[in-house]
Amino acid sequence: MGEDIGFWAVAGLLAAVGGLAVAAAMLDSVMGAAAMGHARPVAAMLDPVRETARLLVQQRSVVPASDSVLRLIGTGGIVLAAALAALVVPVGMRPVADLDIGVVWFNAMEVLVWAALWLIGWGSNAAFGLVGGYRIIAQGLAYELPHMFALITAALGAGSLRVGDVVAAQSGLWFVVWMPVAFAVYLLSALAMAFWGPLGQPVDEDLAGGAVSELAAVDRLVFLAGRYALLAVTAAFAVPLFLGGGAGPWLPGWLWMLLKTLAVLGVLVWARWRLPTMRMDRFMEAAWVVLIPAILLQALVVGIVVVARG
């Protein structure tokens, strides 16, 4: 802690996160159109822009007796948590704030998102909103253990919780090569942490939008911005953890970071449109009987390698 963080570095980072969030929304829109069989990619790419304009002029809606303070804290909290999580994501080789506990910081910000989403659901004073809010808590708790172990396995391989050190430790061999299980578990649990795609039940269509069913106008716009930013940051964090950060031939570090982030983002968005939504109660036993033992074994293997290397 205690490093000096430059104003312009933070401003640049926020701009980058914003750009990635817009890219994620456009990618989502294009892939969605393709999955639905609409062959008009350019029009689909501009759909997020149209949706933004529509939400900006839409009338705000407030349910009687709703707790608007908590709802506002929740809506803003998702954007804030995504931005704070981005602080430890390296642009190139080093993050803007290379905290000595960067990996724990990232996980803590993800957990704040559960609280924020529950607050939106609760503050809306609507049945579907509340059910969606409870879903994110169940889902978050269910996936937190495998997620935490996947993060810790990468930190264990580097011998440090500092994200810069994790990147530096992959100069010889990317972690994805010798901890493939941890990478797979990270991607799967990242879907749950960003309540996205197959694990998007907290805001799913079956609840008419779940936790955010009552959000309209600017409130929904802020939520969507935070949601796509969260997805982009979650995808970006896989790169320093498992894909060597900004390492790569010819191109500069930041460009490699961007390309790899877009590749992971593409996989996550693809998963949304090509995989069915999973009911979490059906998946629960598989999570406990398969996922957690698998990631524990992976951590054991990595631990043995680390000790054997000295």
Partner 1 sequence: MGDAAFWILAVGAVVTGIGVFQMDSMARATFLLLASFLCGAGELLLLGLGYLGMVIVLMMTMEMVVMAVFMVMYMMNPAGLMPMTMVHNQRPATVIAVVTFAGLVAGILLTPWPERKGARPMDSTMQVGEAIMGPQMLLMIVIGVAILATMIASVVLATDRGRYDRYGDRLERRRPDDPIPGGRR
Residues forming contacts to partner 1 in the complex (CB under 8 A) are 1-2, 65, 67, 69-70, 73, 99-101, 104-105, 107-108, 111-112, 114-115, 118-119, 122-123, 125, 130, 134, 137, 140-141, 144, 161, 281-287, 289
CB-nearer residue toward partner 1: 114 or 196: 114
In whole angstroms, the minimum distance from the beta carbon of 200 to partner 1 comes to 19
The residue among 102 and 244 lying less far from partner 1, judged by its C-beta, is 102
Q: In angstroms, what is the minimal distance from the CB of 294 to partner 1?
A: 14
If the CB atoms of residues 16 and 185 are measured against partner 1, the closer one turns out to be 185
Residue 73 CB, shortest distance to partner 1, in Å, is 8
Q: Which of 251, 201, 188, 220 is nearest to 120 (CA)?
A: 220
Name the residue nearer to partner 1 (CB basis): 51 or 100: 100
183/35 Cα distance (integer angstroms): 26
- Tell me how far apart the alpha carbons of residues 115 and 111 are, in angstroms, rounded to a whole number: 7
Closest CA to 287 of 93, 139, 159, 175: 139
Residue (145 or 216) nearer to partner 1, CB: 145
CB of 57 to partner 1, least distance (A): 30
Q: State the nearest-atom distance from the C-beta of 257 to partner 1, in Å.
A: 24
Q: Looking at beta carbons only, is 114 or 128 nearer to partner 1?
A: 114
- Least distance (Å) between residue 259 CB and partner 1: 30
**CB-wise, 267 or 290, nearer to partner 1?**
290
Q: How far is the CB of 279 from partner 1 (least distance, A)?
A: 9
